[in-house]
């Protein structure tokens, strides 16, 4: 078997996503749903002998932005470009004391407050759902942010063109198109699930608001870089460890029509491939996601029920690309030896890579406690195993 690269990273990714066989399986690291926690990154760079300060690229998940030296060490084929917040948003993290405890608070553009305790600074969780007590009549008067605010996209085209013209890498957008999850962020998860059953008209009104935000957002985003980006990342978590988070029939009736409108709009404006993120046991809704028009599924949570890589490849692999599925993040990557990590990576790559349609990536973010030896074993094994004959 030849282990010589014959393609650029961009060629490799695009050929793979076209369900053709490249020289090797492409590798990804560094996005919002495909990233690395600051604690794991700090240990990894020390282990590799790489000098790099930790720069947080996602405050809620506390993800580090990997430096070029790390990305090149692991043969990463993707580079990310993302829009920002509107200039009118007065964001930033503020410190507040509540119940004798110091918190780092971030209120996003939708008015949702995310908080991280100073004594356990691992992640931010929601501590304020601003529409928790709202009624249907209240929704029109809520200060919804403007998706198409041009200040979000200042400098975006220049940054994207720099990647496209001056590097060999596939250009990938940051996460966007979060139509469903923002609704429960605003409402509270328990209340939202009750609403789905008892107030569907309320849910549809909220979904219409979030869809409008993203349609407006994508109108400007695609004006700016629809001809530049290779992959556009959207997503909403629809499943948990053992199956869908709510009845798939409710998804098909209330949520899917909005998802489909968004995906079809994006597809009408760009040739970029559309990547959809949902964690968990999502087998029951994969046909719906494909019907919506997505090209790629992430993160392929192999530890969840009914998410066997061989079954997924057999059922959907001719038309759907898989981005992730590398190693059981919950039990193997964080708790087993480097040799055990390598063995599972080798097994999953060999199942998912035939015929193209597979991009290697950690199953969601690499968590803070993962030993650096295991991270190295995961990516090195992917590179060594991923060459096509």
Assign 3-class secondary structure to 230-241. Answer: CEEEEECCCEEC
pLDDT at 69 over 70: yes
pLDDT at 221 over 90: yes
pLDDT at 223 over 80: yes
Q: Using 50, 70 and 90 to split pLDDT, how confident is the model at 187? A: very high
172 close to 229: Cβ distance less than 8 angstroms: yes
Please state, for a pLDDT cut of 90, what percent of the chain lies above it.
97
Structure tokens at 206: 């909220």
Mean pLDDT for the stretch of residues 153-181: 98
Helix (H, G, I), strand (E, B) or coil at 168: coil
In angstroms, rounded to a whole number, what is the distance separating the alpha carbons of residues 75 and 48? 14
Pairing of strands 94-98, 78-81: unpaired
Structure tokens at 371: 């030993």
Q: What is the pLDDT of residues 377-386, one digit of tens each?
A: 999 999 999 9
In angstroms, rounded to a whole number, what is the distance separating the alpha carbons of residues 34 and 358? 15
Pairing of strands 239-240, 243-244: antiparallel
Q: Answer whether the bond into residue 248 is a cis peptide, omega within 30°.
A: no
Residue 91's pLDDT is what? 85
In angstroms, rounded to a whole number, what is the distance separating the alpha carbons of residues 360 and 342? 13
Give 194's contacts (C-beta < 8 A, 6+ positions apart).
none
Residue 63's pLDDT is what? 98
Residue 2's pLDDT is what? 60
Q: Using 50, 70 and 90 to split pLDDT, how confident is the model at 389? A: confident
Please state, for a pLDDT cut of 70, what percent of the chain lies above it.
99
pLDDT at 204 over 70: yes
Structure tokens at 349: 């790559």
Q: Of 27, 29, 78, which Cα lies nearest the Cα of 381?
A: 27
Q: Of 151, 128, 298, 146, which Cα lies nearest the Cα of 209?
A: 146
In angstroms, rounded to a whole number, what is the distance separating the alpha carbons of residues 46 and 363? 23
Q: Of 196, 195, 213, 207, which Cα lies nearest the Cα of 83?
A: 213
- DSSP letter (8 states) at residue 122: T
Plot region of 367 (φ>0 → left; ψ -120 to 50 → alpha; else → beta): beta
pLDDT at 1 over 70: no
Q: What is the pLDDT of residues 88-137, one digit of tens each?
A: 998 889 999 998 999 999 999 999 999 999 999 999 999 999 999 999 99
Q: Is this structure's pTM higher than 0.95? A: yes
pLDDT at 313 over 90: yes
In angstroms, rounded to a whole number, what is the distance separating the alpha carbons of residues 57 and 59? 6
What string of H, E and C letters represents the secondary structure of 292-357? Answer: HCCCEEECCCCCCCCCCHHHHHHHHCCCCEEECCCCCHHHHHCCCCHHHHHHHHHHHHHHHCCCCC
What are the angstrom distances between the C-alpha of 225 and each of 146, 153, 218, 232? 19, 10, 10, 10
Domain boundaries, the chain: 9-87+135-385
In angstroms, rounded to a whole number, what is the distance separating the alpha carbons of residues 60 and 124? 5
Round the average pLDDT of the chain to a whole number and report it.
97
- DSSP letter (8 states) at residue 133: T
238 close to 251: Cβ distance less than 8 angstroms: yes
Domain 9-87+135-385 CATH (choose: 3.30.450.20, 3.40.640.10, 3.20.20.210, 3.40.50.1000): 3.20.20.210
89 close to 145: Cβ distance less than 8 angstroms: yes
239 close to 282: Cβ distance less than 8 angstroms: yes
Plot region of 51 (φ>0 → left; ψ -120 to 50 → alpha; else → beta): beta
Q: Please report which residue ranges of the chain form alpha helices under DSSP H.
A: 9-17, 38-48, 68-73, 156-166, 181-187, 189-198, 200-225, 248-250, 256-269, 286-292, 309-316, 338-352, 372-385
pLDDT at 183 over 70: yes
Q: What is the pLDDT of residues 17-54, one digit of tens each?
A: 999 999 999 999 999 999 999 999 999 999 999 999 99
Mean pLDDT for the stretch of residues 336-356: 98
pLDDT at 254 over 90: yes
In angstroms, rounded to a whole number, what is the distance separating the alpha carbons of residues 210 and 128? 18
Q: Residue length, the chain?
A: 389
């Amino acid at each position: 078997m030849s282990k010589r690269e014959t393609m650029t990273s961009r060629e490799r990714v695009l050929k793979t996503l076209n369900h053709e066989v490249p020289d090797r399986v492409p590798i990804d690291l560094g996005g919002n749903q495909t990233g690395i926690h600051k604690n794991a990154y700090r240990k990894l760079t020390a282990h590799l002998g790489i000098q790099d300060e930790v720069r947080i690229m996602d405050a809620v998940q506390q993800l580090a932005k990997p430096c070029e030296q790390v990305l090149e060490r692991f043969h990463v084929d993707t580079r990310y470009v993302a829009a920002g917040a509107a200039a009118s948003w007065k964001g930033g993290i503020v410190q507040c004391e509540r119940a004798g405890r110091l918190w780092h608070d971030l209120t996003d553009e939708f008015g949702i407050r995310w908080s991280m305790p100073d004594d356990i600074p691992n992640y931010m969780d929601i501590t304020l759902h601003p529409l928790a007590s709202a009624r249907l009549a209240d929704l029109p008067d809520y200060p919804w942010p403007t998706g198409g605010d041009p200040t979000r996209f200042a400098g975006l085209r220049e940054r994207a063109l720099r990647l496209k013209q001056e590097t060999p890498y596939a250009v990938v957008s940051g996460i966007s198109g979060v139509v469903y999850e923002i609704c429960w962020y605003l409402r509270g998860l328990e209340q939202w699930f009750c609403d789905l059953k008892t107030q569907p008209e309320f849910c549809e009104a909220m979904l219409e608001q979030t869809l409008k935000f993203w349609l407006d957002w994508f109108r400007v985003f695609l004006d700016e870089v629809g001809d530049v980006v290779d992959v556009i990342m959207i997503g909403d978590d629809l499943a948990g460890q053992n199956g869908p988070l709510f009845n798939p029939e409710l998804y098909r009736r209330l949520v899917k029509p909005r998802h489909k409108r968004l995906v079809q709009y994006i597809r009408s404006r760009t040739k970029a491939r559309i990547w959809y993120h949902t964690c968990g046991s999502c087998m029951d809704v994969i046909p719906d996601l494909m019907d919506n028009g997505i090209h790629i599924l992430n993160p392929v949570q192999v530890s969840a029920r009914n998410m066997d890589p061989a079954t997924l490849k057999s059922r959907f692999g001719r038309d759907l690309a898989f981005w992730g599925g590398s190693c059981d993040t919950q039990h193997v990557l964080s708790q087993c030896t480097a040799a055990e990590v390598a063995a599972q990576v080798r097994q999953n790559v060999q199942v998912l890579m035939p015929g193209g349609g597979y991009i290697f990536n950690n199953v969601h973010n690499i968590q803070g406690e993962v030993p650096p030896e295991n991270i190295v074993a995961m990516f090195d094994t992917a590179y060594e195993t991923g060459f096509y004959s």
